[in-house]
Amino acid sequence: MSKSLAIVWYSRTGGSRQLAEAARDAAREAGDVAVRFLKAEETQAEDLLSADGYLFACPENLAAIAGVMKAMFDRTYYEVLGQIEGRPYAAIVCAGSDGENARRQLERICTGWRLKRVADTPIVNVAAQTKEEILAEKVIEERDLESARELGATLAAGLEMGVF
Ligand SMILES: Cc1cc2nc3c(=O)[nH]c(=O)nc-3n(C[C@H](O)[C@H](O)[C@H](O)COP(=O)(O)O)c2cc1C
């Protein structure tokens, strides 16, 4: 039976969604892996329990991971704790100017689950600081889409080959 990769994402102005989509498309091309594309607000513990690896993508909001993503972790954390240890994950943070706190939080939560991070977590900085820039739809640059594709492909190929 093929392995499965859960891509869990939240996006308000499209940046994290474009990154998650790029990772999804590359993952589907890279390996014989079932890729599930899951909105954070709809993701349940069973979705995480039934996956073999994970990619989390979300913005930094107010120096933290976006609330919708945090709510997903809050909802599922104890339901899956102790049952997904050692599984591989990667993450992407989309940020207007910083992103460090969101990255730290995301990685700490995944460390709590004893997941294994298989790549550095990129922070994609969209240079949005004014209200207008923050609320505008984002267009992610090709080089950032490429790093998202690399993460998706790495996870899918590694899951298929069983190297993690
Ligand atoms: C309420 C709010 C708070 C934000 N706070 C931060 C922040 O603390 N640090 C940062 O780097 N960017 C911050 N941003 C900018 C977003 O991270 C940025 O616009 C990013 O592109 C959003 O991702 P999305 O396009 O996937 O929604 C904030 C945006 C909003 C709407």
Total domains present in the chain: 1
31 confidence band (pLDDT: 50, 70, 90): confident
Contacts of 8 (CB under 8 A, 6+ apart): 38, 39, 40, 43, 47, 48, 54, 55, 56, 57, 69, 72
Atom of ligand 1 nearest to the CA of 18: 26
The CATH number given to whatever domain includes residue 80 is: 3.40.50.360
Residues in the chain: 164
Atom of ligand 1 nearest to the CA of 97: 11
Q: Would the CB of 96 count as within 6 Å of ligand 1? A: yes
pLDDT of residue 30: 94
Q: Whose C-alpha lies nearest to ligand 1, atom 3?
A: 61
Contacts of 74 (CB under 8 A, 6+ apart): none
- State mean pLDDT over 6-28: 98
Q: Would the CB of 155 count as within 6 Å of ligand 1? A: no
Q: Assign 114 to helix, strand or coil.
A: coil
Catalogue the E-assigned strands of 83-158: 88-95, 116-117, 123-125
Range of the domain at 65: 3-161
Rounded-to-integer distance, Cα 42 and Cα 59, Å: 17
Atom of ligand 1 nearest to the CA of 134: 19
- State mean pLDDT over 1-21: 96
Q: Would the CB of 68 count as within 6 Å of ligand 1? A: no
User: Running DSSP on this structure, what letter comes out for residue 40?
Assistant: G
Rounded to the nearest angstrom, the distance between the alpha carbon of 94 and the centre of ligand 1 is: 7
Rounded-to-integer distance, Cα 39 and Cα 37, Å: 7
Structure tokens at 13: 């102005």
For the segment 107-139, what is each residue's pLDDT rounded down to a tens digit?
999 999 999 999 999 999 999 999 999 999 999
Contacts of 35 (CB under 8 A, 6+ apart): 4, 5, 7, 24, 27, 28, 152, 156
For the segment 40-94, what is each residue's pLDDT rounded down to a tens digit?
999 999 999 999 999 999 999 999 999 999 999 999 999 999 999 999 999 999 9
